[in-house]
Chains A and B, each alone.
Chain A
């Protein structure tokens, strides 16, 4: 049971993120929802490669013993980098939206559109 806690955390993070996306009306809060989903997926990847008591997978002067699997960590790093790029783009678009509409409320932006 105790080893399943990270997976439960992953599901919780993703669900909270989805909740924010569906029910929050503020664009910034929706972006926070996206980052929460992103953290959930990243945590999932990291958890897959981890074993209890394992050390960082650096071969030179390693003290021995089991190592964590390095591939999920490499994947996570890539995913984090992509996440930063997406986040920056989304926030810059939000700045432009705020300049045009003077609000971040999804409903009001839609209404002005008509």
Chain B
């Protein structure tokens, strides 16, 4: 059933945007339009390869968890239990699931950039950084080597910080970029420190080898804390979310969409660390006979609940459009972490699995919904040069399509049927209710408040009388509409057929996360 692909496809997925990035400035010399086409082609090709690889992996892991392994340099059949140093790419259903999200978001972002960034200078650097960011994100998701993960993490943070500060003529953007690089560097250095601790103990960098050997000593606990804190900080969970509204709202809208992908890449890191690296000892009793999974789970759940509440409350009182969406994004990350925490705390039970399914499904929904809303905010900025909601009004008369896309995004992000947010949020409510009813109540209430925040936006930006200063406002160019249309179509499709998505994409990913023993045996080769 699977489509034949060369064995080096995982490497190709990284190599295409990386090589494309360095060709972009050269092609930019010839012609600007040619460069735009080239970048879209590169990311389109990348999306194509990712999709085919994903199709293969999902069909193969329908029966049992499947991992595609690629060894850089040397023979493909190596025994990892020997102390050899090789960089491996280990692609399982979870990593390819994240890779689809990242490459779709980047593809949409560059299509949108065609018209949105047209007025700017220095676009060759912009596109180079976008492609580098893609390579970094995909590398984080596909790699099976911890140090390699650190390198890709740094590539992602450097290129996204430079992109956040792309509008250097605005002091706020530069400030947000500085904040972002500061946070990312501290996070990455702690990740490196944790990797060094693990390396010093087990003499290995490969995730599977480490996971096989891990003992949960005192040093391992330190490494676990460092890894989770640093990666969760980059994922933007409260109380480490302070950088997120700044960088999300000050960056160009296309970059914000890319940043959503980068944030989710860090979230993937958290999942990989908890479920794979420390997967073997999750059910061991740690202290006072409490297993590790309950320990970590109940550590994450309060933080997640606070993230949801803070994100929603702050979103309600914002007057800056993009800042409002950024706080909504914090709340959405909170929902994902709530599901992960519930899945951990109730590991092994039926509803624990449902929680994880909801969480993983919500990752893709969050990327689509928040991405679409940011693109709508960018479209309004493009048409009116205005961020503040107090200055807007009556835009529905001039921008029909944008209004429709906003309504889709609004209902999707607030979890209303029949859009995609409903399906995943329902799974989360259902499972958290079984763990503790209060959690589910808070989650539902905050979801309603989120709807209130966006209805406010809808009312003040799109409804009302036609303002004289927006008399000449026209609908945004076709490329921007097309980009928003892609996301809106996927949202509606996911909303109408959630079962299809859950069955074919989400479930294999959850299986891949939970079946740690198979992961280890498949990577280590029957060890």
Question: A: which residues have CB within 8 A of B?
Answer: 14, 21, 27, 30, 34, 37-38, 41, 44-45, 48, 71-72, 75, 78-79, 82, 85-86, 89-90, 93-94, 96-97, 100-101, 109, 112-113
Chain B residues contacting A27 (CB-CB under 8 Å) are: 178
Which listed residue (B157, B192, B199) contacts A79, Cβ 8 A?
Answer: B192
Chain A residues contacting B162 (CB-CB under 8 Å) are: 89
The 8 closest A-B pairs by CB, nearest first: A100-B171, A96-B174, A93-B178, A48-B200, A82-B154, A41-B193, A45-B196, A37-B189
Given contacts A78-B151, A89-B161, contact A44 B171 (CB under 8 A): no
- Interface segment, B179-187, B342-350, B458-466, B496-504? B179-187
Number of interface residues of B (CB under 8 A): 28
Chain A residues contacting B157 (CB-CB under 8 Å) are: 86
Which listed residue (A71, A86, A97) contacts B171, Cβ 8 A?
Answer: A97
The distance in angstroms between the C-alpha atoms of A34 and B185, with both chains bound, is 8
Given contacts A86-B181, A86-B185, A93-B165, contact A41 B196 (CB under 8 A): yes
Chain B residues contacting A34 (CB-CB under 8 Å) are: 182, 185-186, 189
Q: Are A113 and B193 in contact (CB under 8 A)?
A: no
Chain B residues contacting A82 (CB-CB under 8 Å) are: 151, 154, 158
Q: Are A97 and B189 in contact (CB under 8 A)?
A: no
Chain A residues contacting B193 (CB-CB under 8 Å) are: 14, 41, 44
Q: Are A89 and B181 in contact (CB under 8 A)?
A: yes
Given contacts A86-B154, A97-B174, contact A21 B189 (CB under 8 A): no
Q: Are A113 and B181 in contact (CB under 8 A)?
A: no
B3 to chain A, nearest CB (A): 36
Which listed residue (B172, B181, B199) contacts A90, Cβ 8 A?
Answer: B181
The reply on B175 being an interface residue by CB < 8 A is: yes
Q: Are B178 and A113 in contact (CB under 8 A)?
A: no
B40 to chain A, nearest CB (A): 27
The distance in angstroms between the C-alpha atoms of A75 and B171, with both chains bound, is 36
Q: Are B85 and A44 in contact (CB under 8 A)?
A: no
Chain B residues contacting A90 (CB-CB under 8 Å) are: 178, 181-182, 185
Is chain B's binding surface mostly helix, strand, loop or mixed?
helix
The distance in angstroms between the C-alpha atoms of A71 and B148, with both chains bound, is 13
The distance in angstroms between the C-alpha atoms of A31 and B478, with both chains bound, is 43
The reply on B22 being an interface residue by CB < 8 A is: no
Given contacts A21-B186, A41-B189, A89-B181, contact A113 B172 (CB under 8 A): yes
Q: For chain B, residues 113 to 153, give those with C-beta under 8 angstroms from any C-beta of chain A.
A: 147, 150-151
Q: Are B199 and A48 in contact (CB under 8 A)?
A: yes
8 CB < 8 A contacts A-B: A34-B185, A41-B192, A78-B147, A82-B158, A86-B157, A90-B182, A90-B185, A96-B165
The distance in angstroms between the C-alpha atoms of A93 and B175, with both chains bound, is 8
Chain A residues contacting B158 (CB-CB under 8 Å) are: 82, 85-86, 89
Which listed residue (A30, A71, A78, A109) contacts B175, Cβ 8 A?
Answer: A109
The distance in angstroms between the C-alpha atoms of A75 and B146, with both chains bound, is 11
Q: Which of B158, B178, B182 has the most chain A CB atoms closer than 10 A to its own CB?
A: B178
Residue of B nearest to A42 (CB): B192
Q: Which of B177, B181, B186, B189 has the most chain A CB atoms closer than 10 A to its own CB?
A: B189
B420 to chain A, nearest CB (A): 36
Q: Which of B147, B196, B200 has the most chain A CB atoms closer than 10 A to its own CB?
A: B196
Please encode chain B, from 68 to 86, with 1 for each CB lying within 8 Å of some chain A CB and 0 for all others: 0000000000000000010
